Amino acid sequence: MRRFIDSHAAWGLLLAAGLAFPWATGNDYHLTVMSTAYIFAIATLGLNLITGYTGQLNLAHAGFMAVGAYTVGILTVDHGWTFWGALALSGAVCVALGWFIGIVSLRLKGHYFSIFTLCVGYIMFLVIEKWESLTHGTVGIMGIPAPEPIGALAFESPLALYYLMLAFLVLAVWVMRRIVKSLLGRTFIAIRNGDELAEALGINLMRNKVLAFQLSVCYAGLAGGLYAGFVRFIGPGVAGVEHTFDMMIFMLVGGLGTVLGPLLGALAMPWLTQSLQFLQEYRFIVFGPILVALVIFLPHGVVGSFLAWQARRDAKEGKPHAQD
Amino acid sequence: MLKIDRLTKKFGGLAAVNGVSTTIEEGKINAIIGPNGAGKTTFFNLIAATHRPTSGTITFGGRDVTALRPDQVARLGIARTFQSTTLFDHATVLDNLIVGHRLRTRAGLWDVLRGSSLLREEERVCREKAREALDFVGLSHIAHRLAGDVTQEERKRVAFALALATDPRLMLLDEPAGGVNPEETEGLAALIRKIVRHGITVALIEHKMNMIMRLADKILVLSYGEKIAEGTPEQIRRDPAVIDAYLGSEHAEV
């Protein structure tokens, strides 16, 4: 049972829990909370690729999510596209936009990159809010159609939508694990460890950073597109930087630079927030100290700290550990 | 092998390297010495293309490499180690080394998404290279130890292994024995000789004079960014300019 946490069995168990969830609750409200968590989990996985694996904290992530959401909103409502066609384009638009923003912003390093992207995110928000003829401004876009049926599968009920979001999350996790475990993932990790050394090892910094950035915002764009089809109403608030900070918290709680960590963070934190709802505004008095304690005592997050402990134990026994 | 012609690097008004011409000779151990702030590391940064020179040219194997990027220079076969090596401390030593051969592979995003046979083959080659390099530097017994848990001397060897995994023709070693005790220094010197025996040219910066005098085939002395002497250890020991500028007269009889 060693290395259980990263085995097929563990991932299978997690999937089974996701599949069984609707029977456990049977309550539409819970399904909606969980589906929203899945959407944000997809975006968080993307943010984790550029931040956790490549070492560049992109604070415009929610902006890209909004670009994806508005791509679906505008194309379906104003131009009569189908949801599926618009969703495909939401990822593509973010990849293209990510290239332009990437080649400019990734010239900066460390905090400078983060501050620059913070500004980029705010500009995205302003453009969405002010460009009324395209985005409907502060009114937002209403009446976004639900995803069209695929064959006999209709996506009208919360239950069907729940499974649709779960399917996308499974796909997102599968692709992400492929990327980070490959030579490409190792290339990103080398850049995170130290870009001077990475460069000396023959890694083209700019090309790889831009690629990681594009993949990352592609996840954000698709998550945004799904969000538009799920909530069926979007406003400029989607681009708000507080969404990026939420995703950062998900990553930190779970563990930066792991796939499971940000995923569990993104799934667990909304429930924690929900359960503290009765405290209203005061919930941050409880929430803040929990976060501070976590960052002090588990600096690599719950999953990250567990993996580090396991790796150390394996190393003591002279056995290859999970990554090997 | 590496020809350097009137190389100059100015940071603002300061000339960190000033009109240095030299050659790094193939199959030899070429040492670069000089007092702190003499411009040794800058000199390496210029060769490895981390900095673009203000003027002068660098020719590697007959090819002008002055205007290339660091990753291009690495691909041509110039590897380097740093005074401190940024490893991923939570991964094993072997895991850290696998990326070392990445520059000789071609698999891109599409191969990753498809899980192509090219990618699998290249991952196998990279892993094999990592093991070979680890064997070469004598660390196969700590392959599965966490990089954060190894000693300073082992970390130096890991840095060597990482550079070796790139299949270099020339290795630039920046203080390979810095912060390491005398016996371990001896071991690292033996390793450097072994690298050269295997056909890789070495250029190194080092402060440990005993080590340099016994190890180097050729020494270049920099002071305030300028070349003040060049020659065999025997010649350098007797050079009055070197004794004045760097060693101090009390070392004259060593």
At residue A323 the predicted structure's pLDDT band, cuts being 50, 70 and 90, is: very low
Nearest CA in chain B to A205: B71
Tracing tokens 């009765």 back to the chain, one arrives at A278
Measure Cα distances from B59 to A110, A150, B23, B63, B66 in Å: 34, 62, 9, 5, 7
More confident residue, A277 or B124: B124
At residue A319 the predicted structure's pLDDT band, cuts being 50, 70 and 90, is: low
- % of chain A at pLDDT higher than 90: 75
Give residue B241's pLDDT.
87
- B interface with A, Cβ–Cβ < 8 A, is 48, 50, 69-71, 74-75, 79-80, 82, 85-88, 90-92, 94-95, 98-100, 102-103, 105, 107-109, 112-113, 115, 119, 122-123, 126, 144-146, 149, 162-163, 166
At residue B36 the predicted structure's pLDDT band, cuts being 50, 70 and 90, is: confident
Rounded-to-integer distance, Cα A20 and Cα B224, Å:
72
Query: Which chain A residues touch B144 with a CB distance below 8 Å?
Result: 314-315, 318-321, 324
Q: Strands B63-64, B78-81: parallel, antiparallel or unpaired by DSSP?
A: unpaired
Rounded-to-integer distance, Cα B121 and Cα B127, Å:
10
Long-range contacts from A147-155, C-beta under 8 angstroms, 24+ separation: A147/A83, A147/A84, A147/A87, A147/A229, A148/A82, A148/A83, A148/A84
Q: What tokens were used for B119?
A: 């990618």
At residue A2 the predicted structure's pLDDT band, cuts being 50, 70 and 90, is: very low
Give residue B213's pLDDT.
92
Residue A321 has pLDDT above 60, yes or no: no
Rounded-to-integer distance, Cα A270 and Cα B50, Å:
45
Domains of chain B: 2-251 (3.40.50.300)
Read off the pLDDT of each residue in B23-29 and give the average, rounded to a whole number.
95
Residue A281 has pLDDT above 80, yes or no: no
Query: Which chain B residues touch A324 with a CB distance below 8 Å?
Result: 92, 94-95, 144
- Closest CA of chain B from A311, distance in Å: 7
* Residue B106: closest CA among B94, B95, B88, B121: B121
Contact B107 A184 (CB under 8 A): yes
CB distance A141 to A77 below 8 Å? yes
Please report the number of interchain residue pairs, chain A to chain B, with beta-carbon separation below 8 angstroms: 111
Question: Global pTM?
Answer: 0.93
**Residue among B47, B82, B90 with most chain A CBs within 10 A, to mutate:** B90
Rounded-to-integer distance, Cα A190 and Cα B173, Å:
20
**Residue among A176, A177, A184, A258 with most chain B CBs within 10 A, to mutate:** A184
Half-sphere exposure in the Cβ direction for A258 (13 Å, CA): 28
Rounded-to-integer distance, Cα B49 and Cα B74, Å:
9
Q: Which fold has domain A27-275?
A: ABC transporter involved in vitamin B12 uptake, BtuC (1.10.3470)
Contact B100 A201 (CB under 8 A): yes
Return mean pLDDT, chain B. Answer: 92
At residue B209 the predicted structure's pLDDT band, cuts being 50, 70 and 90, is: confident
Question: How do residues A148-163 score in pLDDT, each as one tens digit?
Answer: 998 888 888 899 999 9
Rounded-to-integer distance, Cα B23 and Cα B77, Å:
16
Rounded-to-integer distance, Cα B199 and Cα A324, Å:
31
Read off the pLDDT of each residue in A206-210 and give the average, rounded to a whole number.
97
Give residue A10's pLDDT.
87
Contact B102 A202 (CB under 8 A): yes
- Closest CA of chain B from A124, distance in Å: 28
Rounded-to-integer distance, Cα A106 and Cα A89, Å:
24
Question: How do residues B79-119 score in pLDDT, each as one tens digit?
Answer: 999 998 899 988 999 999 999 999 999 999 999 999 999 99
Least confident interval from A67-71, A256-260, A272-276, B61-65: A272-276
Return mean pLDDT, chain A. Answer: 91
Read off the pLDDT of each residue in A295-310 and give the average, rounded to a whole number.
87
Residue A232 has pLDDT above 50, yes or no: yes
Query: Which chain A residues touch B71 with a CB distance below 8 Å?
Result: 199, 202-205
CB distance B170 to B73 below 8 Å? no
- Closest CA of chain A from B254, distance in Å: 37
**Domain spans of chain A?**
27-275, 282-324
A186 in B contact zone (CB under 8 Å) = yes
At residue A1 the predicted structure's pLDDT band, cuts being 50, 70 and 90, is: very low
Contact A189 B88 (CB under 8 A): yes
CB atoms within 10 A of CB A309: 11
**Residue among B47, B83, B92 with most chain A CBs within 10 A, to mutate:** B92
Amino acid code (one letter) for B202 = V
B159: left (phi over 0), alpha (psi -120 to 50) or beta: alpha
- Closest CA of chain A from B47, distance in Å: 11
Read off the pLDDT of each residue in A307-312 and give the average, rounded to a whole number.
84
Please list, in sequence order, all residues whose beta carbon lies within 8 angstroms of the beta carbon of residue B121, skipping any fewer than 6 positions away: none
Rounded-to-integer distance, Cα A96 and Cα B36, Å:
48
Q: Strands B78-81, B170-174: parallel, antiparallel or unpaired by DSSP?
A: parallel
Give residue B207's pLDDT.
86
**Residue among A6, A107, A186 with most chain B CBs within 10 A, to mutate:** A186
Give residue A286's pLDDT.
80
Give residue A3's pLDDT.
63
Query: Which chain B residues touch A190 with a CB distance below 8 Å?
Result: 99, 102
At residue A324 the predicted structure's pLDDT band, cuts being 50, 70 and 90, is: very low
More confident residue, A150 or A315: A150
Half-sphere exposure in the Cβ direction for A231 (13 Å, CA): 23
Amino acid code (one letter) for B230 = E
Rounded-to-integer distance, Cα A103 and Cα A242, Å:
25
CB distance A145 to A235 below 8 Å? no
More confident residue, A296 or A175: A175
Contact A182 B107 (CB under 8 A): yes
Q: Tally the residues of chain B.
A: 254
Rounded-to-integer distance, Cα B93 and Cα B130, Å:
9
Query: Which chain A residues touch B149 with a CB distance below 8 Å?
Result: 312, 315
Read off the pLDDT of each residue in B175-202 and give the average, rounded to a whole number.
94
Question: Which of A199, A211, A324 has its CB closest to that of B94?
Answer: A324
Nearest CA in chain B to A204: B71
ipTM: 0.92
Helices (H), chain A: 8-25, 28-48, 61-79, 83-105, 110-130, 132-135, 158-181, 183-193, 195-200, 205-231, 241-254, 260-275, 283-297, 301-316
